[in-house]
Structure 1
Amino acid sequence: MKVIDLINANKKTAFSFEILPPLKGTGIEKLYQTIDTLREFDPKYINITTHRSEYVYKDLGNGLFQRNRLRRRPGTVAVAAAIQSKYNIRAVPHILCSGFTQEETEYVLLDLQFLGITDLLVLRGDKAKHESVFTPEGDGYFHAIELQEQINRFNRGEFTDGSEMKTMGTPFSYGVACYPEKHEEAPNIDEDIYWLKKKVEAGAEYAVTQLFYDNQKYFDFVDKVRKAGINIPIIPGIKPFKKLSQISMIPKTFKVDLPEELTKEALKCKNDQQTQQIGIEWCIKQCKELMAYGVPSIHFYTISAVDSIKEVAKVIY
């Protein structure tokens, strides 16, 4: 079953989460520990992030530096295959514009199709650390919708060079990202929703939100997209608040607001242990309200938050 089918077939709010591939050279066991910690809550699918190469500079010791490309977290395809094989849970690798040429994307699609992994989350991705604005890699894409179009052509049996496949495999299905508080580069929320609608018209079957802490922002967003004629599931992306330092870090990194009530409670905390408990309680309240609203699924972002997510899931699932 495709992810959209798993979501729609579930009688209660489905559980899913996102993981990062391990850092280069660190092995996969810690990732397995994350899955083992959360698998009791019956995840319908697991997303695996993809990370572009970055330029790093090696000091040659003679006043010169050598610029090299490095991927700190390779292995998205292999991790997806390992998860489906070891756990029999649907794996959903992210596929990006950022850092990939059209040919590199095509090879990723071929590898995934050979492995029987045919669910994707299609994203533009972030700009490189050395860039002031997003810049495609070679003949790669500026926008996720262009990447969708390549996937759609692949599904029709067409390679990027115009040649045709002799044998076609199972076509890919995919979701996309959306932003209740708008994408940081969008001039306004209406323009952001316009492009979400275009992505739906291009074939997106569901959308997963950027993390948020104010449910009213999500409810208002869903209301706007429904009025715009967008009828796919809008899956809330959730991450428990955990550290006091996140009061400034989260708005800066993710371009989202923290509710005044959450901020006030967090500022009363004397240490991160107390802050984590406040974050768990807030997340439980947030998820219960989303469930009462009727969301078909809740998607959790696990980085540095696995233990908190477990505590939340024990209450709500």
Structure 2
Amino acid sequence: MKVTDYFEAAKDNTLISFEVLPPLKGGSMQAIFNTLDPLMEFKPPFIDVTYHREEFIYRKRPSGYYEKTAIRKRPGTVGICAAIMHRYGVDAVPHLICGGFSKEETENALIDLNFLNVNNVLALRGDAAKFEDKFLPHPEGHAYALDLVKQVADMNCGKYLDPNISNGEKTNFCIGIAGYPEKHFEAPSLKTDLDYTKEKVDAGANYIVTQMFFNNKKYFQYVDECRKAGINVPIVPGLKPITKKYQLTSIPRLFFIDIPDELVKEINKAQTDEAIK
């Protein structure tokens, strides 16, 4: 079932879904189950599973020089989606990213997902790799989320990368994209950011999931601005609980968002992690 179908069926009822990260390489699927088992009482209609690009480490060679080596630290998104659907009977929404993946690798992942009857994807550009000061696309991949959305939309029409494929299997993916109530940190203005978002919607995106925010007013203002810009797809608020005091500085640094003064003051009063929760 498509994410947008759940929205339509819910009418005025509130839906709560969750997002999980694949375990580090060598980790167990049981860790995901241990996280999700107690949350299933909320009856999530779908569960997002993030995708991660390769990361780099520097290994010192005997000569004294350092060699940059690519590693994949969190594989398994497609398999985790299948395991979640099998165990809980709920839809899984895999994240697809541009960074670190060629167009061919993306197409193959989409084919696997289609075979598994996964009907939803979240199309993202992804972040810059560690030790890089800006996002660098795969030499044979996409530079922008817009291009990734177009590739998924093409496959929904039976169009594959190989021009010799005629009458290709049409996929049926519902395409989600990211939205930024406080604008993407690389965008010069909110209007520019919204222009890019509208391009993705016009290219085939069906819904938006926002970056986390801690001031509800920012979300409602963002929805209003989207509607004024002609963006009329559902806009899902992305929420993250603060559970540790260090997150007061790490979250703004990593995600380029503000935390309201009232919340900062209350968290700073707390003396334990339990009190923060």
Shorter-normalised TM range: over 0.9
Q: What is the percent sequence identity of the aligned residues? A: 46
Q: Does 2:154 align with 1:153?
A: yes
The one-letter code matched in structure 2 to 1:3 is V
Q: Higher relative contact order by CA 8 Å / sep ≥ 6: 1 or 2?
A: 1
TM-score, normalization by structure 1: 0.84
The 3-state SS of whatever aligns with 2:64 is coil
Q: After the TM superposition, which residues 58-97 of structure 1 pair with which residues of structure 2 at under 5 Å, given as runs?
A: 58-97=59-98
Q: After the TM superposition, which residues 190-201 of structure 1 pair with which residues of structure 2 at under 5 Å, given as runs?
A: 190-201=191-202
The one-letter code matched in structure 2 to 1:129 is K
Q: Which residue of 1 aligns with 2:2?
A: 2
CA distance in 2, matches of 1:65, 1:135: 21
The one-letter code matched in structure 2 to 1:202 is A
Q: Which residue of 2 aligns with 1:107?
A: 108
The 3-state SS of whatever aligns with 2:226 is helix
CA drift of 1:177 comes to: 0.3
CA distance in 2, matches of 1:243, 1:54: 26
CA drift of 1:61 comes to: 4.3
Q: Which residue of 2 aligns with 1:308?
A: none
Contact 1:113 1:169 in 2 (8 A): no
The one-letter code matched in structure 1 to 2:177 is V
Q: Which residue of 2 aligns with 1:57?
A: 58
Q: Which residue of 2 aligns with 1:301?
A: none
Contact 2:47 2:91 in 1 (8 A): yes
Q: Which residue of 2 aligns with 1:280?
A: none
The 3-state SS of whatever aligns with 2:122 is strand
The one-letter code matched in structure 1 to 2:81 is A
The one-letter code matched in structure 2 to 1:121 is L
CA drift of 1:111 comes to: 1.0
Cα RMSD for the two superposed structures: 1.4
Q: Which residue of 1 aligns with 2:35?
A: 34
Residues 48/203 of structure 1: CA separation in 2 closer, same or farther (3 Å cut) = same
TM-score, normalization by structure 2: 0.95
The one-letter code matched in structure 2 to 1:174 is I
Runs of 5+ consecutive residues of structure 1 not aligned to the other structure: 277-317
Q: Which residue of 2 aligns with 1:262?
A: 263
Q: Does 2:174 align with 1:168?
A: no
Q: Does 2:127 align with 1:126?
A: yes
CA distance in 2, matches of 1:54, 1:253: 16
Deviations 1:34-83 (A, max 9, x none): 11011110001000000001122333445344432211100000101111
Kindly tell me the number of residue pairs found equivalent between the two proteins.
276
CA distance in 2, matches of 1:65, 1:196: 40
CA distance in 2, matches of 1:45, 1:93: 10
Residues 158/169 of structure 1: CA separation in 2 closer, same or farther (3 Å cut) = closer
The one-letter code matched in structure 2 to 1:142 is A
Contact 1:124 1:143 in 2 (8 A): yes
The 3-state SS of whatever aligns with 1:192 is helix
CA distance in 1, matches of 2:34, 2:273: 23
CA drift of 1:242 comes to: 1.2
Residues 166/228 of structure 1: CA separation in 2 closer, same or farther (3 Å cut) = closer
CA distance in 2, matches of 1:165, 1:55: 39
